[in-house]
Amino acid sequence: MDFKDLSFPEAPLIKIPPPGPKSKEYLDYQASHEGSAVSYPKGMPMAIRRARGATVEDVDGNIYIDFFGGAGVMNVGHANPAVSEAASKQLSELTHSLDIPNPARKALVENLLTLLPKDLNRIFFGGPTGSDAVEAALKLARYNSRRYPLIAFEGGYHGMSAGALSLSSGLVFKEDFLPLLPEVHFVPYAYCYRCAFGREPDTCGLECVQYLEHVVEDPHSGVGRPAAVIVEAIQGEGGSIVPPDEFIPRVRAVCDKYEILMVVDEIQAGFCRTGKMFSFEHTGTVPDIMTMSKALGGIGFPISGIAYREYLDTWPGGKHIGTFRGNVLAYAAGSEALNFMVQNNLAEHALNLGEVMLVWLKELEEDSKVVGEVRGKGLMLGVELVRDKATKEPAPELAREVRAICHRWGLLIEIGGHYGNVARFLPPLVLTEEMARKGTELFSDAVKTAEKSLK
């Protein structure tokens, strides 16, 4: 299939500087009637009318290239025709069944089991959000191990519900709500651009994993033997951080040695985004428990779940429940989305296009005084912005300015990273090379423009 046909061809097209008058009406209404915790409209002020493929149209008729992808949900593209049709057909058949089996649910489980390694042969759907999958994973780990402590990584993001938030490192998310779950401990991720140990990747011997082992092994580390280590094989919110190849295998080895369950969070990196169906497949390891959500619902139908090894399937009925245990529309859409991913080699497309975009972005890194590092895998890319390349002083205000300029010029991007200074790209994977080039050029120009205003 030619992915070109899925998007609005005229993107980017700015008819009226956003937010235009119609968008303003929606934004004003929202500001005076909805809770002040809404966040995305503050960074990308607009109201959305419709979206197709890798493009989004606002209510004023402006059309954007979407490098944001609904925060990594829209892997098969907005309003993907085959997926929309599957969901429409399901709509008139059955839309809610708690966890009682039905044809759409069975089909999705079958589909997932053909794509997962054979060791991950149990699927469990919980509540509709990724956070709920994380809650399920930590409960399953605790239930089986009969241990309480958990280890997570600096820069990790796992969601907003109490357990998931406890495992997320960003203070901006949690500092007003502490204390959360006790006995959650953080260790440094292999964030080599800002190594916690001041080491260089070629010679460090992965000191971060050595430290993890020290924490687990030393009876005076202050950390009880953990139920699980939870990790993203490629960190998303932490700043699109791709660890060295040996990092995840070495974490796996520590987990094996000390009989700790390894949970890999695939909520953002899964479903072809990084060039494999699941990002752990780059590492030659298989987790004990894997979380999934976001793109699992095809075109944004909320659903989450976990896949795990059969021997862990000891918990009795009712240990993790809720009114929405899976989502029948999402099963139908998700199955069709998985078919689309496989039939269109979406993982390979994401991998190849990501490599091309990294080459373009590397040119920006060389030319610009404020691009500290560009990195990523597949279509999970990050550009770390700094005030000074030598000191690496983070430039979050610059990242916000770049996002604002991109928005005004017709490109949607995300911001993340430890210091809020990483411009992040999570486009629908049906992005074409032509659209990717337009978007990257626009982004590069935005960086150069914003750089001039840096005080």
Ligand X SMILES: Cc1ncc(COP(=O)(O)O)c(C=O)c1O
Residues of this chain that bind ligand X (CB under 6 A): 71, 129-131, 134, 157-160, 232, 236-237, 265, 267-268, 293
- Reference 237, options 165, 286, 329, 297; nearest CA is 165
Min dist. Cβ of residue 137 to ligand X (A): 10
Strands 55-58 and 63-66: antiparallel
Min dist. Cβ of residue 327 to ligand X (A): 13
Q: Which is nearer to ligand X, 163 or 226 (CB)?
A: 163
Q: Which is nearer to ligand X, 232 or 401 (CB)?
A: 232
Min dist. Cβ of residue 132 to ligand X (A): 7
Which residues sit opposite 123 in a β-bridge? 307
How far apart, in whole angstroms, are the C-alpha atoms of residue 267 and residue 354? Answer: 19
Residue 411 contacts by C-beta under 8 Å, 6 or more apart in sequence?
A: 12, 64, 65, 67, 439, 442, 443, 446
Q: Which is nearer to ligand X, 60 or 237 (CB)?
A: 237
Q: In this structure, what token pair is assigned to residue 179?
A: 């204390």
Min dist. Cβ of residue 6 to ligand X (A): 24
Strands 184-187 and 150-153: parallel
Min dist. Cβ of residue 426 to ligand X (A): 9
Report which residue's Cβ sits closest to ligand X. 130
Min dist. Cβ of residue 50 to ligand X (A): 23
How far apart, in whole angstroms, are the C-alpha atoms of residue 155 and residue 247? Answer: 15
Min dist. Cβ of residue 170 to ligand X (A): 11
Sheet holding 414-416, edge to edge: 371-377, 380-385, 422-425, 414-416
Residue 410 contacts by C-beta under 8 Å, 6 or more apart in sequence?
A: 11, 12, 13, 14, 62, 63, 64, 65, 442
The most distant pair of C-alpha atoms in the chain lies apart, rounded to whole Å, by 64
Using CA atoms, how far residue 409 sits from 78, 242, 371, in Å, is 21, 29, 20
Min dist. Cβ of residue 166 to ligand X (A): 13
Q: Which is nearer to ligand X, 159 or 305 (CB)?
A: 159
Q: Which is nearer to ligand X, 233 or 386 (CB)?
A: 233
How far apart, in whole angstroms, are the C-alpha atoms of residue 66 and residue 427? Answer: 6
Q: Which is nearer to ligand X, 387 or 424 (CB)?
A: 424
Q: In this structure, what token pair is assigned to residue 414?
A: 């995300």
Before 19, cis peptide (omega within 30)?
Answer: yes
Min dist. Cβ of residue 381 to ligand X (A): 15
Scan for tokens 């780059």, then name that residue. 282
How far apart, in whole angstroms, are the C-alpha atoms of residue 46 and residue 60? Answer: 9
- Reference 191, options 230, 234, 159, 251; nearest CA is 234
Q: Which is nearer to ligand X, 164 or 212 (CB)?
A: 164
Q: Which is nearer to ligand X, 57 or 414 (CB)?
A: 414
Min dist. Cβ of residue 188 to ligand X (A): 17
Q: Which is nearer to ligand X, 6 or 330 (CB)?
A: 330
- Reference 362, options 353, 375, 350; nearest CA is 375
Q: Which is nearer to ligand X, 238 or 372 (CB)?
A: 238
Burial of 270 from C-beta contacts in 10 A (0-12 / 13-18 / 19+): buried
Min dist. Cβ of residue 449 to ligand X (A): 29
- Reference 247, options 211, 218, 222; nearest CA is 211
How far apart, in whole angstroms, are the C-alpha atoms of residue 71 and residue 295? Answer: 10
Q: Which is nearer to ligand X, 130 or 427 (CB)?
A: 130
Burial of 130 from C-beta contacts in 10 A (0-12 / 13-18 / 19+): buried
- Reference 114, options 123, 104, 127, 101; nearest CA is 123
DSSP track, 115-154: HS-TT--EEEE-SSSHHHHHHHHHHHHHHHH----EEEET
Min dist. Cβ of residue 130 to ligand X (A): 2
Q: Which is nearer to ligand X, 387 or 418 (CB)?
A: 418
